Every structure is written in structure tokens, then in C-alpha cells.
Amino acid sequence: MKKFIIAICIWFSNNTYAQNWVPGTTYFNNNNYVEYIFGNMPVIISTPHGGTIAPTSIPNRTATICGTNVTTVEDSNTDDLARALDTSLRNLIGCRPHTIVCRLARTKIDMNREINEATCGNATAQTTWYNYHAFIDTARKYILAKYGRGLFIDLHGHGHVKQRLEIGYLLTDAELRSSDAYLNSVTAVSNSSIKKLIGTNLGNVNHVELIKGANAFGTMMGNSGYPSVPSQQDPAPLSTDDYFNGGYNTVRWGSRDSGLIDGFQIETNYTGVRSSTTNIKKFADSLAKVIKKYIETHILTPAQLAQCQATTGIFNLPQGLQKGLFNLYPNPVTGGLLNIQLNKNYQKIILKLLDNKGSVIMQQSFLNSQQIKLSLPKQLKGLFLLKIQTDKEWEVQKILINN
């Protein structure tokens, strides 16, 4: 049930999808609080906590307003780091990642939280939150259409005592300290934000190798002069260490619950990384090299990645939510009819429609199907989750019904 609720996002209809996209062009949402550099690489860089704009028209997020404890500390210079990484990757291989930057201060919004805690109910903040995540979804759709696989990185900064990178795969520090047998178990793999990569990586290596082996991301960064945990050099945090293992964005945009894009959170230390323009550029150059090597080692061959160099021009992305198992349209749904296109013919399909609490309100089964036309009850209106399960896999997508 928790996984369904975490996966929820509200589809919005401002113009985010109804436009042409040009690699290298910077786009902003309607209030200029979200910046999106459209890329041509199978990489998404999200920076949710580096913004500094603090309009008085949006009240500060406080426990009194939000009804819960909130965190408002800024991740200093992570927005500059993301833009520097865009430049470094362009200089390195002639291609650009998809970079999404929140320009609002964390006192006003938190893009790494679910919408209620993120916005405290403020309408402008809610719209901005929708825009931010829709830009990520646009990047995801482009990457899946062109490459079929990709990498999502949620970029943060920490103030912990130990000056090292913290790579968050949604595994707790206690899990990272567990045995290799546990980390390769179904339980640990099911908790991992690189779950899809574990069974499909180019080298056919296991989970342990991917998070702390010779070609793990943290190991590669450590070999570049930036100590990281987990890695071969530093396999797990001590029980007394502070450690961030990932948040809402890594859950939503990584592959733990569904989808073909793997992801993780990088918590960057300040000293030697974000502390000056010189350090930011140096770190961005090293990070760019590791991202390239990581993709070519685990996700796409060098020839497949090199396709980005020939990617120019204008792109019109499909309106359906293209993911790994099925595509659906139109979304939002009007007229009560939803078209579902699966990625292949399946002998048996179970379809469930759930409300935003995860309760099943409609269920149907289909045999030997690849295309389904689903008639929805006329009284339904609002946000719902559509779960499709085959004999081997399942996936959840979000739909907005405007009957």
C-alpha cells in the first residue's frame, strides 16, 4: 500500500508537454521557479534544495502551517554544481544531461517530499511542485523513447562531519552493514533504487558489486579523489555515522517500484566539493567522467551512449505516459474511455484501478491482449492509480479522470 501512495503525482495541464523540446535549451515554468535544461543524454540530474528565491507571497514552511516537522536547510551551491555538471558533460562527450533545478528556497518548498509536506497547502507552491516533477517526467519519457534505459541522480548537499559523498540507494545504513548474502537477497534487492539494473546490467554483476564493488559508482568516485560511501573503499557507514539513504525523489524516479530508469541520491560534502567555484568545476569534471564510465560499464554500450552526439533538432514527445510495461492515453481522461497499449502481448493481465489511498475500486482480467480499451464509470473524477499485473511483472501509473 505504501508503494502505491508514494508513487502518486497529479497530472497537470499547463503547457509543460504541449511544446517542442530542443536539446541545450533552458525552459522555465510559468512563474520561473523551476529551470529545466533539456538534454540529449540518458541522464537526469535533479537538484531540489539549492534554490534561494524566497517570495513573501509564499508563506514559510513551518510545523504550525504544515502540521508536521519540516526541514528547511538549503543545500548550498548544488544548483551551481548541477549547471557545472551540464557544462562538464558537454565538454567531455558533446552531450547534455536533463537538468532540473528548483529555484525556490527550501523555506518555501521541498521538492524531495510528497506534496502536502512539500508545499503546506500553498497553491503557488503546489503548482511549482507539479511543474518540477512534470519536467522530470518529460526527461524520463524522452530517455525511454530514445534509449530504453537511463540514470536518475538526485543531487544534494550534507553538513555531516565526515567529508565524503553519500550514495543513497534507499538502503538503510544497517542494511549496508549487513552481509553480502543479505544485500543480494530478494528483500534487499526489492528495497533498492537500482532494482532494474541488478538483473539487466551489461556485466551481469550482482547487487553487492553494483553498490560497493570495483565498478560501483561510489568506488569510481573514490578512485577519482572523492571518498564515498558505500564503495569498495568504504563499504558502509558506521552505526555512529550520519547518513542519508535517499528520499521521495529516489523512490519515485528510481526503479525500486517500477520503471526502466535506475537512480540514486548523491549527498555531496561541502569542503572540496561545493565550497568554491574552483572546487565545483573540479568536482563536476570528475563526476562527468564517472557518470560516463558508469553508464558504459552497466547501462548502455559506448556506441549506444554515443547516439547522443547525433541528437539535435526539435522533439515532440508522446502524450501518453511511456514506461516499461504499458502506455496509456489520453491522460487526463475525458469521455470515460482509456486506451492502454502494452509493450507486448500477454496471456493474462489483471488490471486494477485504485483511489489515492490505495483501495481497489475496479478490477478486470484480460486474456491474450496487447491493446485494451477500458470504459471507466462516469461518476469517477480525480486522481487514480492504474495497476497492471502480468504473470511476471507489474507496474503502476497515475491517471487523472475529468469525466
Q: Are 372 and 349 in contact (CB under 8 A)?
A: yes
Cis peptide before 318 (omega within 30 of 0): no
Q: Say if residue 75 is in the same domain as residue 224.
A: yes
Looking at the fold, whether 237 and 360 belong to one and the same domain comes out as no
Looking at the structure, do residues 343 and 252 belong to the same domain, yes or no?
no
How many angstroms separate the CA atoms of 22 and 38, rounded? 7
Instruction: Let me know whether 308 and 335 are in one domain.
Output: no
| Domain count across the chain | 2
CATH number of the structural domain spanning residue 137: 3.40.630.40
Q: Examine the domain organization and report whether 249 and 346 are in the same domain.
A: no
The verdict on 152 and 200 lying in the same domain is yes
Determine how many CB atoms are found less than 10 A away from the CB of residue 236: 20
Residues 94 and 132 in one domain: yes
Range of the domain at 334: 326-402
φ/ψ of 256, rounded to 5, equals -60, -45
Is the same domain home to 286 and 390? no
**Pairing, β 381-389 against β 337-354:** antiparallel
**One-letter identity of residue 355:** D
Please indicate, yes or no, whether residues 196 and 306 belong to a single structural domain of this protein: yes
User: Are 25 and 174 within one domain?
Assistant: yes
Count the Cβ atoms, other than its own, within 10 Å of residue 32: 11
Residues 2 and 83 in one domain: yes
Closest among 6, 2, 319 to 137, alpha carbons compared: 319
Nearest 10 degrees: Cα torsion 391, 384, 190, 137:
110
First-to-last C-alpha distance (Å) of the chain: 26
CA pair distance 200, 209, nearest whole angstrom: 13
Where does a domain end: 251, 285, 317? 317
Burial code of 293-329, b = ≥16 C-beta within 10 A, e = fewer? bbbbbbbbeeebbeebeebeeebebeebbbbbbbbbe
How would you write the pLDDT of the chain (403 residues) with one tens digit per residue? 444 333 333 333 333 444 578 888 999 988 999 999 999 999 999 999 999 999 999 999 999 888 888 999 999 999 999 999 999 999 999 999 999 999 999 999 999 998 889 999 898 998 899 899 989 988 998 999 899 999 999 999 999 999 999 999 999 999 999 999 999 999 999 999 999 999 899 999 999 999 999 999 999 999 999 999 999 999 999 999 999 999 999 999 999 987 789 999 999 999 999 999 999 999 999 999 999 999 999 999 999 999 998 766 666 654 433 345 777 777 778 778 888 877 777 888 999 998 866 788 899 999 988 888 889 988 888 888 888 888 767 777 778 887 6
Of 279, 294, 317, the one marking the end of a domain is 317
Asked which of 282, 298, 317 is the last residue of a domain, the reply is: 317
Rounded distance between C-alpha atoms, residue 279 and residue 344, angstroms: 48
Are 24 and 122 within one domain? Answer: yes
